[in-house]
Amino acid sequence: MASTANPTRDDFAKMLDDQLGGVADDGFEGRVVKGTVTAIENDKAVIDVGLKSEGRVPLREFARGEDDHGIKVGDEVEVYVDRVENADGEAMLSRDRARREAAWDKLENEFGEGKRVEGVIFGRVKGGFTVDLDGAVAFLPGSQVDIRPVRDVTPLMDVPQPFQILKMDRRRGNIVVSRRAVLEETRAEQRSELIDKLSEGQVIDGVVKNITDYGAFVDLGGIDGLLHVTDMSYKRVNHPSEVIAIGDTVKVQIIRINSETQRISLGMKQLESDPWEGAAVKYPVGAKLSGTVTNITEYGAFVELEAGIEGLVHVSEMSWTKKNVHPGKIVSTSQEVEVVVLEVDSDKRRISLGLKQAQQNPWEAFAEKHPVGSTVEGEVKNATEFGLFIGLDGDVDGMVHMSDIAWGISGEDALALHRKGEEVQAVVLDVDVEKERISLGMKQLERGAPAAGGVAAAGDSLRRGQTVTVTILEVRDGGLEVQAGDDGATGFIKRSDLGRDRDEQRPDRFQVGQKLDAMVTGFDRSKKPNFSVKARQLAEEKEAVEQYGSSDSGASLGDILGEALKNR
């Protein structure tokens, strides 16, 4: 251990520290202290902070690159002590670091209080920009520069302006700021002030700032309002650009102000006279009018009767004959059409129109031109399990039931005789205008058939159960086509009615022109008689039994019939 008589180097250091008040051990390093400029040598300032030795700080740290560093000998400045002594025995000082530390202290206080800070955008980095906050460097993300995307930030650089600190991390040296937050806050304050000056129903001038598919945004002097497309005009507007353009000055009325969302709804049509006033008087039910097709949907077409008044032609009211067809195949946009008013609801602003009502009902026209009993010609449009549909004049269809296709064969066989696209003739049996149905018959045109709506004159005297002599007109597989008398009504004897026995039921055993007795068994719906040989035989047998007694007398049925025939 060294004695005071022979002090060592460490002893001298300790005595020096004691002489300087222990500054070397008071934690100067890492602190911001005040010092005095003792000299300016070349590009550096010599500063005494009360340590063992002075330190040198580059002049650029005082002027941040300007030629005039702004300091002189004797000035008192704040510097950051990085090290008390370096290898050259000088104190390592920093003016920049001192400014940053001071700035951080101030920024932390302002961040905690939610205050805005002033800064300058001075550089670009990936994803944003750098901002000088009086010595502390912060990051400004590109999305936080403005409320709307900014293409050129040059006018904003090197200009002192307010920022909002979003995040701070002193340990990592990170600061994130936002210019957008300041603008939004300022804008919100301005909106509140402007909204307080506005009221619903007020008429005001504005400038169109932006146009969308659903409307336009109008600047009312620092605050925007939405002018919806449906409030631009009473007439149909397909797109706002048809009415206004960006930059136009428009007169609008404030329809609604939402105090919670601070949204303003505007209207232009509210400043015009309402065309729906007195619509029920102008457009009475049954009136025939002209209009223009403005829009076509799956359920119908809208027809404009005047500016601001549109009516709907429902798909069911578009055509008498075209069913289940898209309206676009009947009318087209901008087409001039004639319509009839079906219903008016002024409260709901609705008018129901009819397109087909403006045209003559084709079934009425057909009934006038082709009365019952007349002959028509048309093409077989379709064959169903119950009949044929024939295309007729006026774009209407008539139906031939399978029982009215041909005589003497089944309906199924009759359907097989005709094909789609074939031209045929038929007789009009009935026309039902309300149900839009036309009944036709084809077999009524065959030789000897009764006229539609009645029977032949010779057949008027025929009655059910009557036995008459008939002449064979035609032999078919299904039976015989016959005629009562020489010029009476024609009818048919089915194969099963040609006799009681199977052998008697063969049509090929008969010849055209042959005469035979048959009984009238009934009439079809066209009043054509049906005959039966079998029914006649059974009736004669019954009559013979009643006349000559039953088989209990000992006579056989054959004997009874033989005697009856002999007597006849």
Residue entry with tokens 């829009």: 295
For the chain, list the domains and their CATH numbers.
Answer: 28-98 (2.40.50.140), 114-184 (2.40.50.140), 198-271 (2.40.50.140), 279-358 (2.40.50.140), 362-445 (2.40.50.140), 457-547 (2.40.50.140)
Q: List, as one string, the DSSP characters of 471-493.
A: EEEEEETTEEEEEETTTS-EEEE
C-beta neighbour count of 152 within 10 angstroms: 6
In 244-356, which residue ranges form alpha helices assigned H by DSSP? Answer: 279-282
What's 45-67 look like in SS3?
EEEECCCCCCEEEECHHHHCCCC
CA distances from 552 to 80, 539, 545, 555, 559 (A): 152, 20, 11, 7, 13
Packing angle of the helix pair 557-567, 533-548 (nearest 10 deg): 100
Q: Are 193 and 262 in contact (CB under 8 A)?
A: no
Distances (CA, A) of 209 to 77, 85, 245, 251: 53, 65, 9, 14
Rounded Cα gap, residues 512 and 475, in angstroms: 7
The amino acid at residue 17 is D
pLDDT of amino acid 41: 77
The backbone torsions φ and ψ at residue 499, rounded to the nearest 5 degrees and listed phi first, read 175, 170
**d(C-alpha 340, C-alpha 355), whole Å:** 7
- Find all residues with CB under 8 Å of 187, minimum gap 6, and list them: 147
The SS3 of residue 562 is helix
How many whole angstroms separate alpha carbon 205 and alpha carbon 259? 21
Task: Output phi, psi for 220, to 5 deg.
Answer: -100, 20
d(CA 40, CA 75): 11
pLDDT tens digits in sequence order for the chain, 568 residues long: 444 556 665 565 555 555 544 444 355 666 777 777 777 877 777 777 777 777 777 777 676 544 556 677 777 777 777 666 666 667 677 666 777 777 787 888 888 888 888 999 999 999 999 998 877 889 999 999 998 888 888 899 999 999 999 998 888 878 999 999 998 888 777 777 788 888 888 898 999 999 999 999 998 877 888 999 989 988 888 899 988 999 999 999 999 988 777 789 999 988 888 888 878 888 899 889 999 999 999 999 999 888 888 899 999 888 888 888 899 998 999 899 999 999 998 888 889 999 988 888 888 888 889 888 889 999 999 888 888 999 998 888 999 998 888 876 777 888 888 888 889 999 998 888 888 889 999 888 876 555 444 433 344 568 888 889 998 888 888 888 888 877 677 888 998 899 888 888 888 899 988 889 999 988 766 667 889 999 998 888 888 777 765 544 445 555 555 555 555 5
Using DSSP's 3-state secondary structure scheme, residue 458 falls into helix
Instruction: For residue 360, give the DSSP letter.
Output: -
Which residues are CB-neighbours of 33 under 8 A, at least 6 positions away?
49, 50, 78, 79, 81
Report the C-alpha gap between 562 and 223 in whole angstroms: 119
Q: Are strands 437-441 and 396-401 parallel, antiparallel or unpaired?
A: parallel
Tell me how long the chain is.
568
Closest CA to 289 of 339, 354, 350: 339
| CB 181, CB 166: distance < 8 Å | yes
For residues 431 and 363, the answer to whether their CB atoms sit within 8 Å is yes
Cβ neighbors of 478 (< 8 A, separation 6 or more) are 408, 409, 410, 413, 494, 495, 507
In angstroms, the CA 82 to CA 70 distance is 23
pTM given for the model: 0.44
Pairwise CA distance, residues 71 & 129, whole Å: 31
**Token pair in block for residue 241:** 């650009």
pLDDT of 42: 77
